[in-house]
Amino acid sequence: MMTIMELPEDLLEEILCRVPALSLIRLRSTCKRWNRLINDKRFSPIKVKGILSLIDPCSSLNHIKISRVFHCDGLLLCVTKDRIPRLVVWNPCTGQTRWIKINRYRENARYALGYYQDKNSNVGYSYKILSYIVQHPSPSYLIYEMKSNSWRVLEVDATSDFKIWFLDRGVSLKGKTYWIAEGKGTVSIRVASFDYSKERFEYLCLPHQYDWYYETQSLSVVRGEKLSVLLQDDYESKTNIWVSSKISDETKAVS
């Protein structure tokens, strides 16, 4: 008699696709084979019933138009395409949502989601949302605390040593948000970050100085543990890739 561990992979995949999303996550620890299969790109979350069911409590429509998405710690911060945009923090695996009201409409605003260590929280950490918009003479920032369900103005030092050009290209690593940035008064490339515990911006220097004129500048996270920077010069057909082995808060550098 054949056991479930001996089933062909295509049949096992068909069975797992019918398992609820929350249970599916727990099944990854059953064995290495199941963990590999569930994490495989071929085993798309779209195949799993109910895993992508974002429901708008204010509408009878069965779909929601999303303009922007920011990922952090398995959660998706989505901005709707409504006339007055709304925010929703969505866990695609459990289906849980948290709809957030924007007190005032901020045209072209960008948003990022992060977390910080919180001893008073049941899970040991709490989430915040950063809202930022470039305007003259200096950027405007708001911070939203999920545990208090409230927005407030965030005072940021206008004399920062860097400038973030592409505010919607941030990535999340261990609670902080990171962006490619330009050194103020220079054309050097740096990595800017926002600490949700201290509620302040910081910057990191790359091991070598690179000019801002690289056509392709990309920031990504490797296996949830490291930061990766890709710089590509199309004219010289040259590509530089840096993967962090350590991010030092003391030296403000990536090594």
Q: What is the pLDDT of residues 174-229, one digit of tens each?
A: 899 998 887 776 667 788 889 999 998 888 777 777 666 676 778 888 877 888 88
Q: List the alpha helices (DSSP H) in the chain.
A: 9-16, 21-27, 32-39
CA distances (Å), 121 to each of 22, 76, 129, in order? 22, 20, 17
pLDDT number for residue 26: 64
Region of residue 121 (phi > 0: left; psi between -120 and 50: alpha; otherwise: beta)? beta
pLDDT number for residue 49: 47
Q: What domain range includes position 178?
A: 160-255
Angle between helices 9-16 and 32-39 (to 10 degrees): 70
> Which CATH number covers residue 17?
1.20.1280
58 and 43 in a single domain? The answer is no
Ranges of residues in the chain whose predicted pLDDT is under 70: 1-5, 17-29, 38-53, 60-62, 103-107, 134-137, 157-162, 165-166, 185-187, 210-213, 215, 234, 246-255
65 and 34 in a single domain? The answer is no
110 and 152 in a single domain? The answer is yes
Neighbours of 172 (CB within 10 A): 20
Structural domain count of the chain: 3
pLDDT number for residue 136: 64
Of 107, 126, 158, which residue is a domain's last?
158
170 and 153 in a single domain? The answer is no
176 and 107 in a single domain? The answer is no
- Of the candidates 30, 73, 94, 2, the residue with the CA atom closest to the CA atom of residue 16: 30
pLDDT number for residue 225: 80
Three-state DSSP state, 127? strand
pLDDT number for residue 50: 44
140 and 171 in a single domain? The answer is no
166 and 231 in a single domain? The answer is yes
- Of the candidates 92, 84, 89, 90, the residue with the CA atom closest to the CA atom of residue 109: 84
124 and 90 in a single domain? The answer is yes
pLDDT number for residue 4: 66
33 and 61 in a single domain? The answer is no
Three-state DSSP state, 213? coil
The residues near 108 (Cβ < 8 Å, ≥ 6 apart) are 133, 134
35 and 125 in a single domain? The answer is no
60 and 151 in a single domain? The answer is yes
194 and 154 in a single domain? The answer is no
| Bridge partner list, 238 | 233
pLDDT number for residue 128: 95
Of 107, 138, 158, which residue is a domain's last?
158
